[in-house]
């Protein structure tokens, strides 16, 4: 990749056009020939199906049965391939003509720009007679004028070459747009997604939206906390699991994805509670989305927010009062609760409940496991969030066992 100067007169970065023109033409010819062969084969199959070939016998009858209406599908495919080939050939030929010219322009622009940068002087003529400027009609002023003229001439030479690059780039761009348009016209109305294909696309988009929604709710749960956000997060998790099950049924997800989604709803972080005999399937599985406790707690918080709204006089002041209650009401220990959730996923009250149930060796070991689960699981969760922004591979993708344990 060479640097051929700033943007061209039409505001584009000066660069080569990629692509192998010969391969494109060859591929277009093969596609056209394949389309013709498919149409010819469809005609033959149709004759077999209709008995126009004159053949008789049980074997032929069985063959006609097998052929069925497949000739129609084969002909449709051929009718798509045959006209697509010439479009690719035309584009390949246009590319073969203009690509070498563009390459020459890029190389020439790079050389001209290097020359321009190496010259002293200024494109805009420098003055004389002022501070730190030579006197008019002096030898220094004459030299300065000559340098400025040479600098301007070098820039104008680069600009002219860049303009020629623009013209040939326009030719290539028109050829590319024409090929894309012509192929679109060939396919228009002939290739359509079925109902379930459209549903698959919707589900994939919804999964991505749920991932971002889960991130937003997760961040708010760290800063704010409270049962409403916990319930929203649980509902998002249940919907995501249901969509993953659908994707598995449609072949868009594998057993690994489905298994990890199912494992994700298991209460690994509540071993202490389970060991203490306080486990409730409805309240603890699926984040409590199907239990009474989570909904009851969320309802209580909603009523508190309603009281705060009324207490602060309704309207804008009531909304601000409700928001203040929403943010501060779940942080009785102030920044301590926020930091505890940030580092371990639990607030101080949650650790007090854990210590209440840690009586006996098994519950104590289970509670210690819960603590380690938070300490190890939270960084892995952040790793997943960061990957949504950066696109890097998460630790869980490299080591799926982490997803099972945390």
Could you tell me which residues come within 8 angstroms of residue 102 by beta carbon, excluding any fewer than 6 positions away? Answer: 16, 17, 165, 168, 169, 172
Quick one: tokens of 72?
Answer: 């129609």
pTM of the model: 0.49
Three-class SS state of 83: helix
What parts of the chain have a pLDDT lower than 50?
none
CA neighbor of 225 nearest in space, from 322, 329, 324, 330: 330
Could you tell me which residues come within 8 angstroms of residue 233 by beta carbon, excluding any fewer than 6 positions away? Answer: 214, 217, 218, 221, 287
362 touches 274 (CB < 8 A): no
pLDDT tens digit sequence for 167-189:
999 999 999 999 988 888 877 75
Euclidean distance between CA atoms 113 and 154, whole angstroms: 8
Euclidean distance between CA atoms 268 and 366, whole angstroms: 10
| Per-residue model confidence (pLDDT) at position 134 | 83
Euclidean distance between CA atoms 298 and 233, whole angstroms: 12
| Alpha helices, H only, 224-314 | 227-250, 255-263, 271-275, 281-284, 292-311
User: Which sign does the torsion angle of CA 301, 303, 306, 311 carry?
Assistant: negative
* Four-CA torsion 40, 46, 52, 54, nearest 10 degrees: 90
Could you tell me which residues come within 8 angstroms of residue 201 by beta carbon, excluding any fewer than 6 positions away? Answer: 193
| Per-residue model confidence (pLDDT) at position 346 | 73
370 touches 354 (CB < 8 A): yes
Q: Which residue has the tokens 């994707």?
A: 247
186 touches 87 (CB < 8 A): yes
Euclidean distance between CA atoms 97 and 49, whole angstroms: 47
28 touches 86 (CB < 8 A): yes
| Per-residue model confidence (pLDDT) at position 276 | 55
272 touches 358 (CB < 8 A): yes
Indicate the DSSP class of residue 264.
T
Backbone φ, ψ for residue 254 (5° rounding): -95, 180
CB neighbours of residue 146 within 10 Å: 12
CA neighbor of 140 nearest in space, from 123, 115, 148: 148
| Per-residue model confidence (pLDDT) at position 308 | 81
Return the percentage of the chain with pLDDT > 70, whole number: 73
Give the residue extent of every domain in the chain. Answer: 21-187, 197-405
**DSSP character string of 93-130:** HHHHHHHHHHHHHHHHHHHHHHHHHHS-S-SSPP-SSS
| Per-residue model confidence (pLDDT) at position 60 | 56
pLDDT tens digit sequence for 87-134:
999 999 999 999 999 999 999 999 999 999 999 988 888 887 778 778
Answer left, alpha or beta for residue 279, where phi above 0 means left and psi between -120 and 50 means alpha: beta
Cα→Cα distances 132→122, 127, 129, 265, Å: 15, 10, 8, 76
Quick one: tokens of 205?
Answer: 């988009």
């Amino acid at each position: 990749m060479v640097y051929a100067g700033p943007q061209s007169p039409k505001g584009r970065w000066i660069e080569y056009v990629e692509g192998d023109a010969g391969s494109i033409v060859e591929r277009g010819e093969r596609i056209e020939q394949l389309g013709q062969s498919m149409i010819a084969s469809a005609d033959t199959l149709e004759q077999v199906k209709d008995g126009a070939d004159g053949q008789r016998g049980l074997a032929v009858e069985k063959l006609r049965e097998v052929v069925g209406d497949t000739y129609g599908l084969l002909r449709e495919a051929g009718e798509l391939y045959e006209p697509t080939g010439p479009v690719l050939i035309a584009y390949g030929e246009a590319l073969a003509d203009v690509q070498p010219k563009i390459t020459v322009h890029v190389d020439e622009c790079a050389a001209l720009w290097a020359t321009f940068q190496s010259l002293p002087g200024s494109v805009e003529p420098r003055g004389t007679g002022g501070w730190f400027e030579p006197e008019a009609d002096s030898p220094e002023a004459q030299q300065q004028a000559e340098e400025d003229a040479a600098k301007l001439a070098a820039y104008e030479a680069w600009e002219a070459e860049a303009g020629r690059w623009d013209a040939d780039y326009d030719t290539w761009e028109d050829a590319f747009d024409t090929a894309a348009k012509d192929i679109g016209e060939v396919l228009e109305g002939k290739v359509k997604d079925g109902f379930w294909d459209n549903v698959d696309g919707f589900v994939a988009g919804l999964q991505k939206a749920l991932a971002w929604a889960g991130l937003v709710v997760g961040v708010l749960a760290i800063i704010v906390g409270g049962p409403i956000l916990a319930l929203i997060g649980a509902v998002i998790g249940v919907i995501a699991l249901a969509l993953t099950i659908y994707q598995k049924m449609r072949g868009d997800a594998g057993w690994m994805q489905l298994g990890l989604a199912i494992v994700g709803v298991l209460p690994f972080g509540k071993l202490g509670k389970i060991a203490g005999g306080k486990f409730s399937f409805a309240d603890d599985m699926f984040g409590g989305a199907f239990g009474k406790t989570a909904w009851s707690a969320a309802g209580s918080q909603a009523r508190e927010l309603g009281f705060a709204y009324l207490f602060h006089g309704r309207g804008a002041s009531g909304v601000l009062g409700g928001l203040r209650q929403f943010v501060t009401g779940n942080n009785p220990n102030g920044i301590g609760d926020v930091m505890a959730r940030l580092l371990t996923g639990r607030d101080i009250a949650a650790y007090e409940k854990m210590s209440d149930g840690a009586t006996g060796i098994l519950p104590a070991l289970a509670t210690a496991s819960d603590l380690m689960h938070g300490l190890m699981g939270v960084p892995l969760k952040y790793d997943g969030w960061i990957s949504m922004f950066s696109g890097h591979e998460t630790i869980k993708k490299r080591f799926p066992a982490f997803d099972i344990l945390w």
